[in-house]
Amino acid sequence: MTLRLGIVADYSDDFRDIAAEVVEAERVGVDVVAAAEAYSFDAVSRLGYLAAVTSRVTLASGIMPLFSRTPTMIGMTAAGLDDVSGGRFELGLGSSGPQVIEGFHGVPFHRPLARLRETVEVCRALWRREPVVSDSPNHPIPLPADQGTGLGKPLKLINHPRRARIPIAIAALTPKAVAQAAEIAESWIPLFYFPGRAHLAWGDALDAGFARRPDELGELDVQAQAPLLIADDTDQALEIYRDRVALYVGGMGAKGANFYNDLARRYGFVDEAERIQELYLAGEKKAAAAAVPEELILGTSLIGSESHVRERLRALTDSGVTTLTAQPLAPELGGRIQQLEALRALIDES
């Protein structure tokens, strides 16, 4: 299977510039374009815009937060985007976290794995035009019986979806979440994917999910992400990425509540992860970045010479990656497109 090449559309205020970049990326061979949504402008309007200005690339929500819409609305939205794009949409889902869901959206962050499974089931039933009723105990804000109208009834989608099965990708890091993604989704989206050590972090979880995976789902599409710079002088780019890794491993949550720190530990960097977090939470951000192991930086990025990037591509595909979402680090549009074109050439020759 040929490795799919993807990018993520940026959170830019002027999306017309991003759309123009996506058109150029499509021209040079990018296969998938994802629109992110955290607490920015919504992804749906932007994906609709991209559907109108592109003709070939797959468009994806990368990711749509699970609790910001009802399961039925997520299914309706996915069907609508699939329709306006001519069957080119993939639904990317993720739980996000309490800070965004409870603080920004004002919705309880409750039992995310159960909510995710329910959402996938509801979406697939809706796309098959089966009657859907939201009576699940996993619903985040159930109405008391005496507050209901008594008029609720199962309904099926009025429109006929372009496809009865829209691919679903799930962003997951923790072992339980990864096992569920491997069981119920077409695709899995990890972060800071390290091909040489992925089995240490997720091997058992993936095996558990595969053991329960229905045959009709086929092989799991693994969508790894990596910053990209193919050049001889990459010192500055590596330092920028090092700062980012330090932020996630050291600063995304308190001690004992940082998924990225836990991931670094499962990769085998136990002492290093503890030190990075200790320094970062103490406000020593530069020292925290300096404590990030070189192996972790190089193993989770595509930053280096052409021969180095070629070797990293081989490691990614050998570990089971089937979609590579590249994040070009060049500051100008022309440079980013050139980087994507060069990466496309390396993928095609492999």
Can you give the pLDDT at residue 145? 44
Whether 151 has a pLDDT exceeding 60, the answer reads no
Beta-carbon contacts of 243 under 8 Å, excluding residues fewer than 6 positions away, are 285, 289
Among 77-91, 119-133, 292-306, the range scoring the smallest mean pLDDT is 119-133
Average pLDDT over residues 125-140: 74
**What are the two backbone dihedrals, phi and then psi, of residue 11, each rounded to the nearest 5 degrees?**
-80, 35
Percent with pLDDT over 70 in the chain: 94
- The better pLDDT of the pair 137, 167 is held by 167
- The better pLDDT of the pair 37, 86 is held by 86
pLDDT band, very low/low/confident/very high, at 347 (cuts 50, 70, 90): very high
Whether 193 has a pLDDT exceeding 50, the answer reads yes
Tell me the H-state helices in 85-217: 98, 112-127, 175-184, 198-212
Q: Indicate the residue type of 124.
A: R
Average pLDDT over residues 161-190: 97
Whether 79 has a pLDDT exceeding 60, the answer reads yes
Rounded to whole angstroms, how far apart are CA atoms 102 and 110?
A: 10
C-alpha gyration radius of the chain: 21
Whether 149 has a pLDDT exceeding 90, the answer reads no
**What's the pLDDT tens digit per position in 11-47?**
877 899 999 999 999 999 999 999 988 888 999 999 9
Q: How far, CA to CA in Å, does 134 sit from each of 27, 28, 69, 194, 271?
A: 42, 44, 13, 39, 46
Question: Are 182 and 209 contacting, i.e. CB atoms less than 8 angstroms apart?
Answer: yes
DSSP character for 106?
A: -
For 4-229+305-349, CATH number out of 3.30.2290.10, 3.20.20.30, 3.90.190.20, 3.40.50.11140 equals 3.20.20.30
Can you give the pLDDT at residue 350? 82
Whether 142 has a pLDDT exceeding 90, the answer reads no
Rounded to whole angstroms, how far apart are CA atoms 253 and 261?
A: 9
Question: Are 22 and 9 contacting, i.e. CB atoms less than 8 angstroms apart?
Answer: yes
Beta-carbon contacts of 73 under 8 Å, excluding residues fewer than 6 positions away, are none
Q: What is the mean pLDDT of the chain?
A: 93
Beta strands in the chain (DSSP E): 4-9, 32-35, 58-61, 64-65, 89-94, 168-171, 187-189, 221-230, 302-304, 321-328
Whether 179 has a pLDDT exceeding 90, the answer reads yes
Percent with pLDDT over 90 in the chain: 84
Whether 147 has a pLDDT exceeding 90, the answer reads no
Can you give the pLDDT at residue 150? 52
Location of each CATH 3.20.20.30 domain in the chain: 4-229+305-349
Whether 306 has a pLDDT exceeding 90, the answer reads yes
Average pLDDT over residues 230-235: 96
Which tokens in the block code for residue 31? 């296969």
pLDDT band, very low/low/confident/very high, at 257 (cuts 50, 70, 90): confident
Which tokens in the block code for residue 272? 């290093």
Can you give the pLDDT at residue 1? 57
Beta strands in 38-157 (DSSP E): 58-61, 64-65, 89-94
Rounded to whole angstroms, how far apart are CA atoms 68 and 43?
A: 12
Can you give the pLDDT at residue 134? 63
Can you give the pLDDT at residue 132? 85
Average pLDDT over residues 1-7: 89
Among 1-15, 19-33, 279-293, the range scoring the smallest mean pLDDT is 1-15
Can you give the pLDDT at residue 144? 43
